[in-house]
C-alpha cells in the first residue's frame, strides 16, 4: 500500500485566530488526486470551527461505509477526499454540499509525475526513481497508467470528475482558485471567493476573509505542494511536451473541453 510522507500543518491552531460561524450543512470537498486538494481544503478550514471538521480520514470508496457519518445533516461536518462516482457515494452525499476540484489534464500529468517521483511518495513505484526509465516514458505512464499498478488519466478523470458533472455538484478549476489566491486584493477575487464559499451557507461573509485565505493558502501548510516535495529524481518541465499533449487528447478526447479548458 502506498504511503505519503508529509509534515503536519498548524491550521487547527490558526483557526482559533478567527471567529467561526457554526456549519449548518455537511460540505464535502471532492477532488481528482493532484488537483490542489490541500489548497481548497486548507482555505475552507479557516471558515469552519475545528470541531466541525472531519479529520478522521481522507474519505475514499474503500472506507466510505465506515465514515458515512461525515455527511450526516443532523451533525454537519466539513470533510474531504477523492470519492469516485458510485451508487453508494451518491446515496452518502445526497444531502451534502458537494464540490469537485479538477485541473487541466496537461498540467495534471506533470503534477502526478512530480509527486510519484518524490521521496514523499512511498509505494510500489520506487523503481521509477532509479534512472532506468526516461522522463518521456514516465509521462506516458502518467497518461496511460501502468498495468495492475496505476490507473490511467482517463480512468481517474472519468470516475472522479466527469461522472459527477450534471448531478448538482459545484465544479472548481484549480487554476482559477490558484490565480485568485495570488491576486487576493482584487475585486474579482472577492466575487470569486464569495461564490466558492457559498456552500458553507455562512450567515455573514467575514470581513477578514482575505486573511483567512492567506493563512489557509500558505504553501508551508501543504506537505504536497510542489516546492515542498523532496528529492525529485527528475527535472519536471513547467509545460507538458507537445507529443504528450497529443497523447492526452488521444487518451481522453473531449475531456479538457468538458472541464472548461481550451
| 0.85 surpassed by pTM | yes
Q: Are 234 and 132 in contact (CB under 8 A)?
A: no
**Can you state the angle between helices 187-196 and 174-182, rounded to 10 degrees?**
140
CA distances from 97 to 41, 73, 165 (A): 14, 10, 14
Extract the residue ranges of the chain whose pLDDT is less than 70. 1-7, 120-125, 129-130, 222-233
pLDDT for the residue numbered 117: 85
H or E element at residue 212: helix 209-216
Element (H, E) at 3: strand 3-4
Enclosing H/E stretch for 110: helix 105-116
Residue showing cell 470569486: 192
- Grid cell in block for residue 260: 472548461
DSSP for 170-211, please give it.
EEEEHHHHHHHHHTTTSHHHHHHHHHHTGGG--SS--TTHHH
Q: Can you tell me the distance from the alpha carbon of 160 to that of 253, in angstroms, rounded to the nearest whole number? A: 17
Instruction: Give the per-residue pLDDT at 133.
Output: 86
pLDDT digits (tens, 9 = 90+) for 16-29: 999 999 999 999 99
CA 197/CA 107 separation, integer angstroms? 25
pLDDT at 227: 55
SS3 99: strand
Give the whole-angstrom CA distance, residue 252 versus residue 218. 33
Amino acid at each position: 500500500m502506498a504511503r505519503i510522507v508529509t509534515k503536519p500543518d498548524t491550521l487547527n491552531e490558526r483557526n482559533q485566530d478567527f471567529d467561526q460561524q457554526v456549519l449548518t450543512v455537511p460540505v464535502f470537498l471532492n477532488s481528482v488526486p493532484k488537483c490542489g486538494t490541500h489548497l481548497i481544503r486548507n482555505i475552507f478550514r479557516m471558515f469552519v470551527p475545528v470541531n466541525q471538521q472531519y479529520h478522521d480520514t481522507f474519505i475514499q470508496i474503500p472506507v466510505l461505509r465506515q465514515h458515512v457519518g461525515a455527511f450526516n445533516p443532523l451533525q454537519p461536518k466539513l470533510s474531504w477526499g477523492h470519492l469516485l462516482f458510485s451508487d453508494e457515494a451518491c446515496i452518502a452525499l445526497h444531502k451534502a454540499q458537494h464540490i469537485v476540484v479538477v485541473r487541466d489534464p496537461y498540467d495534471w500529468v506533470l503534477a502526478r509525475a512530480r509527486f510519484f517521483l518524490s521521496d514523499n511518495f512511498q509505494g510500489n513505484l520506487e523503481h521509477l526513481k532509479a534512472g532506468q526509465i526516461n522522463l518521456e516514458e514516465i509521462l506516458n505512464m502518467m497518461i496511460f497508467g501502468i498495468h495492475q499498478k496505476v490507473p490511467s488519466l482517463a480512468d481517474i478523470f472519468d470516475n472522479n470528475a466527469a461522472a459527477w458533472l450534471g448531478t448538482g455538484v459545484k465544479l472548481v478549476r484549480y487554476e482559477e482558485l490558484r490565480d485568485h489566491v495570488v491576486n487576493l486584493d482584487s475585486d474579482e477575487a472577492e466575487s470569486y471567493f464569495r461564490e466558492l464559499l457559498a456552500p458553507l451557507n455562512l450567515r455573514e461573509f467575514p470581513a477578514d476573509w482575505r486573511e483567512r485565505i492567506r493563512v489557509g493558502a500558505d504553501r508551508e501548510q501543504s506537505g504536497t505542494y510542489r516546492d515542498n516535495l523532496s528529492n525529485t529524481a527528475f527535472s519536471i518541465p513547467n509545460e507538458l511536451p507537445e507529443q504528450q499533449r497529443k497523447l492526452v487528447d488521444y487518451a481522453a478526447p473531449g475531456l479538457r473541453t468538458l472541464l472548461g479548458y481550451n
